[in-house]
Structures are given as structure tokens and as C-alpha cells.
Structure 1
Amino acid sequence: MKNEERRMKNFRKRHNSTLHIKSYLFALRIVRMVQYLRNEKQEFILSKQVLRSGTAIGALVRESEFAQSPADFINKLSVGLKEANETDYWLNLLYDSDYMDEQSFTSIEEDCNELIALFVSSIKTVKNNQKKNEGSTH
């Protein structure tokens, strides 16, 4: 088994939610994409922005694990959603400025849009559960 496969297997044992896994894998894709952009395309400005926002997504998901309250949990996920949306902006700018080919762009943007959908769904679920819990305590 390759080192990367072993690391991912261990990661999946510790973090089994879809959002955890997909945000981590997305961050890995972003890191590799930025390495390519810097080494092959000599692009340093936009790649710095997409690296920051694209890796922040997973970090915020991890932060949400230890949220102090449901409101804090929602806040962490909401900030993660904003970072995913910002990442989509940088990806589009990289594509439209010809730093990315269509196939690479389409593939990574699909992953980004999937994360956005997961964030929206998770936030709605937590908010709905909060409303149900508030209604049952009155």
C-alpha cells in the first residue's frame, strides 16, 4: 500500500463524515494544483489566494468538531461555505485567465460545488434540528 493510500485510510478511520473527507481531499487537490501553477505556469498571486481559501474549507470543518454550541457550529460551517464560494471565484478567475485548462477546471469546480451543496445542506439540517428542539422545550 502506498504512503498516500495508508494516510487516507487512517484519515477516514478518524473522520467518517462526507464533509470531512471531501473537504480534506479537496484541500489536497488545491495544494497540488497550486504546486503545478507555481512550478509550471509561474503563477504566484492567484494561486496564493486559492490556496488560502481552498485549504481553509477543511480547516473550518475540523474546527466545527469542537464547536462550543450549536450556534458556533453553524457559524464555522457558514464561514466554510463562504470560503468555498470564494474558492470557486478564484478557480473561475484562474480558468478565465488561461492558467487552467477546461478539463482541470471542470473537475475541480465540480468538487467545489459539491462542497458548497454539502455545506448548505448541513447548515439547513442543523438549523432545522435547532428549531425542532426549541419547539419541544416549550
Structure 2
Amino acid sequence: MMAAGTNYIYPPHYLLSQLMADFVIWLNSNAALTLHPVEYATMAHYRFVSIHPFRDGNGRTARLIMNLLLIRAGYPIVVINNQVRNDYINALAYGQQNQDDLSGLFDLVCDAVISSLVETLRLLVTASSSREKGQVFYQEIIDFIDKNVGK
């Protein structure tokens, strides 16, 4: 099977078991775990989607893995917006065709991380300023943060 719009050929089905085992070994390796969390999550996303173990849903699964790794590192969930979908697909294809050059994909993920962090901070500022205004939702957010930050 070939990646849409590229010359990248996904690995044959008989290699998937070993490739997935190698992927999990890499995920838990010291080399991977010493990467910056955003780089680690980006590389994990790329490696999984390049193995392409399923007929459908590989990109969604790769983004879920990426977000799990980001959450475990204390980052908020990131979304690759539809406005950059073509850039995202092109960045994946570029990496697959150019010796795993992930610079474009990393830039997209970094932009998504920054947007998510800004949105989280915006929510926290709104929650903080609404603390005494009887807005229960925001009060619950502040209470949660007060109990859990620093733990």
C-alpha cells in the first residue's frame, strides 16, 4: 500500500508485528525518553503513522499517541487544525521521502502546542478573574489547580 499522493510504500503486513514491537521498544528507550517531550511525541507520531498498522485510522491513532505522550509530560492536548491539514500531510510525506526529516512536522506540532498552551492560559486567566463572580465552572477549575499544582 502506498501513502496517498506520495511514493512512500508502507511496510508489508508480515513485518507489522516486528515493526510494532520495535516501536514499543523505542518508545521506552533511554534515547527516546531523553528527548524534549514535544520532539518525543512528534517522533512517536511519525514512527507510528509510517508503520501504518491499520487499514484506517492510523493518523487519528498517531495523534492520540502523540497527545498521550504530551499529557504525560504535563502539556495540554494539541489539535492539528484542518487549516493546516495539507501542510501536515505534506510534512509526513516529506519525512517519509527524505530520510526521516521531521523539521516540517515538528514545526506544525510546536505551533499546535503553543496554541494549546495559549488557550489553556487564556482559560486560566478567565477562571481566575471569574473566581468571585459566582461562575461555578471557573471556580471548579481554580479549586482543581489549587489542589493539584506542585504535586
TM-score bracket for the superposition, by shorter chain length: 0.3 to 0.5
Question: In proportion to residue count, which structure has more helix?
Answer: 1
| Structure-2-length-normalised TM-score | 0.32
Q: Answer with 1 or 2: which has the greater Rg.
A: 2
| Structure-1-length-normalised TM-score | 0.34
Higher-RCO chain (CA-CA 8 Å, sequence separation at least 6): 1
